[in-house]
Amino acid sequence: MTAPKTFVAELGVIGGRLVSRPRWDVDADGRILRAGASAEFEAPPAGATRDFGRALVVPGFVNAHSHAFQRAIRGATHRRLAARDDFWSWRTAMYERANTLDPDGLFAITRVAFREMLRAGFTTVGEFHYVHHQPDGRAYDDANELSWQVVRAAQDVGIRLVLLEVFYQRAGAGREALAEQRRFCDRDVEAYLARVEALRAAGVSVGLAPHSVRAVARPDLEQLAAYGARERLPMHAHVSEQRRENDECLAEHGCSPTALLGECGFFGRPRGFTAVHAIATDADDRARLRGQTVCACPTTEADLGDGLVEASELRSDGVALAVGSDSNAIIDPIQEVRLLEMGERLRSRRRICLAGDERGLGASLLEIGTVAGARSLGLDHVGDLVVGNAFDAAVIDRRHPLFAEVTDDAILDALLTCATASVVSHVVVGGVERTP
């Protein structure tokens, strides 16, 4: 717990609106008591104010999909492994690294990734965690040993964590898990949910994450959907990242992955459902996803050659968009949301694709990178710097050369379409400044 504090700066975003000389009064628990223009309030007590000076304060970015351990293979997968390198050949290299990690190693690389996230302006991460057991599939004495390492890394760094605990069962329809996948797999749904319950009982924010329709059989998908609805937990899954996944789902179930998930009860739930990637989807799939969220991971999708998410069509069909760093080849929220827009421009040969009807592009991209990610993780108290929310903020240095001659009314557009995370000077999580 920290002492009450007041934060001010030259510019800030409150409720999606750019405010000149903003002020936030934050209580000892890190919650915002008052927010608005400084001129609206009396002077704060002496010594209680943190003035960021010539800076823009925006809500802390939300990373809705991360595999922190994959940070360990950055730069190591760019030599040809097959006649046609793609996601599947990359996956082989990723599996090799996953099976070298012991608890200390997982903690160390997760801490590296989380520190980099914080430095880049991510104040919350949804860690889609699937390296659970020993390499041969045997459980540690504590079946949650590796999950606790992720929790410990987040606590050590000071980033807000939602642990998206993954259920993994098989290599595909009628195929047992491969040797290199065994450490991802729980014995059954009951064993998995026992681990989930132990984490929740210890106060860990948890979401359910069936890995994919490829890795989880239909009866288990139905059981997980029912548990998630009953317990009001966020649910995430990889969906249609590759066309091969669609083909295999059609062969096994006679429908697309989104249709299967809908039949199993994943949609229309209290906390909603997040489909990660959703690249190989069609109009019927998008209609099924109305009211849900798609988490795009543009830097990873580009790195793996996955393709471009149809972001404009998804938004038109009532699907919210969030972003994640996924494989952590790049950790930069500004690049994620910018590449989402630029991918649309390349795909459609148009400009200004993701701007709202009444707001500039920067405001819309900021919402994708903050509010939408928070909602996908079931967090109602982060993503916006308004009264009642946690004061989770990224501070943007307006003295950075990139912003030379940029006017106030263009600052958000310049930030989200031209900058990188190098312009982030400070981060605050729950009213506490963090030093990555």
d(CA 249, CA 254): 7
Sheet holding 22-26, edge to edge: 32-37, 22-26, 5-8, 49-51
Residue 355 exposure: Cα atoms within 13 Å on the Cβ side: 14
Residue of 186, 285, 306, 326 marked catalytic = 326
Catalytic (active site) residue 86? no
d(CA 374, CA 366): 12
Residue of 211, 238, 277, 426 marked catalytic = 277
Catalytic (active site) residue 277? yes
Question: What are the catalytic residues?
Answer: 277, 326
